[in-house]
Amino acid sequence: MNAPINVLRTPSRSRVRRHGDSPLALLATLSLALVLGVMAVVLLQGGPAQAQQLGSTSQRAARIVRLTFDDGPVRPNTPRVLNVLSKHRVKATFFVIGQRARRHPGLVKREYREGHSVQNHTYTHPDLTTLGPVETRRELRATNRAIKAAGVPRPYRFRPPYGATNVRVRSAGASLGLIQTLWNVDPRDWADPPASVICRRVVSNVNPGSIVLLHDGSGANTVEALPCIIKRLRARGYGFGKL
Ligand code: ZN
């Protein structure tokens, strides 16, 4: 955005100097300044215009954001995430890995008991696009069973690992009554950027209805980023929903 504006401003200064002091020159200078001013405003409006668009969208849609946590349950991270959510009275959605749910059924139960949604993130976290339909359904079914064995209602959503999907993956899920659920805000918390960076990436990209991808099963700084995410989104008028 800065480059084109600078290009515009530089010639405007040189033209002003050449015109001298006659009334005609003054008029020409003023006209030129007006034209350039309008052009600069048009150029500058890239940011604010987008913000206005978001503002009007937010007035139509509810300002609800969905935090989702993938790849758990694990210790000690999942209990830490649950503690922060509970402290701030936020409900979220956990896409659990079946294998890990088998290992920590108590944590799966706790997620549900504390009012969160527990959904299916496959049993061994494979790229489902590399599997046949039989194996895909086996991954999803085994996870449904692990979740039910923890005393939690059967999931109705699945999230393909890595977001890797195609028509076949989606319909394998649908054949088991599982709605494929991706995300539209990804702060890449799993790569362990500082908490402040995770928070900024989430807050600056959220719109009403956004689904935010976070991780309780990985992501060293996610727990630390959570209070910042929650407080800043609340300050912008957002509430939190589950899927
Ligand atoms: Zn995952």
For ligand 1, the distance from its centroid to the CA atom of residue 107, given in whole angstroms, is 17
What single DSSP character describes residue 129? G
Q: Cβ distance 189 to 221 under 8 Å?
A: yes
For ligand 1, the distance from its centroid to the CA atom of residue 58, given in whole angstroms, is 29
How many whole angstroms separate alpha carbon 50 and alpha carbon 3? 19
For ligand 1, the distance from its centroid to the CA atom of residue 39, given in whole angstroms, is 47
Q: Which of 104, 125, 215, 216 is catalytic?
A: 215
Is 121 considered catalytic here? Answer: no
Question: How many alpha carbons fall within 13 Å on the CB side of residue 22?
Answer: 5
pLDDT tops 50 at residue 10: no
pLDDT tops 90 at residue 50: no
User: How many other CB atoms sit within 10 Å of the CB of residue 180?
Assistant: 17
Q: Which of 70, 71, 189, 216 is catalytic?
A: 70
How many whole angstroms separate alpha carbon 67 and alpha carbon 214? 7
Instruction: Label residue 53 by pLDDT band (50, 70, 90).
Output: very low
How many whole angstroms separate alpha carbon 137 and alpha carbon 34? 65
For ligand 1, the distance from its centroid to the CA atom of residue 210, given in whole angstroms, is 18
List the structure tokens of 108: 């799966």
For ligand 1, the distance from its centroid to the CA atom of residue 127, given in whole angstroms, is 10
3-class secondary-structure state, position 180: strand
pLDDT tops 60 at residue 189: yes
Q: Cβ distance 144 to 154 under 8 Å?
A: yes
pLDDT, position 62: 83
Q: Cβ distance 63 to 240 under 8 Å?
A: no
What's the whole-model pTM score? 0.76
pLDDT tens string 129-179: 999 999 999 999 999 999 999 999 999 999 999 999 999 999 999 999 999
pLDDT tens string 23-45: 445 445 445 444 444 444 333 33
Beta bridge partners of 120: 96, 158
pLDDT, position 209: 96
For ligand 1, the distance from its centroid to the CA atom of residue 222, given in whole angstroms, is 14
Is 215 considered catalytic here? Answer: yes
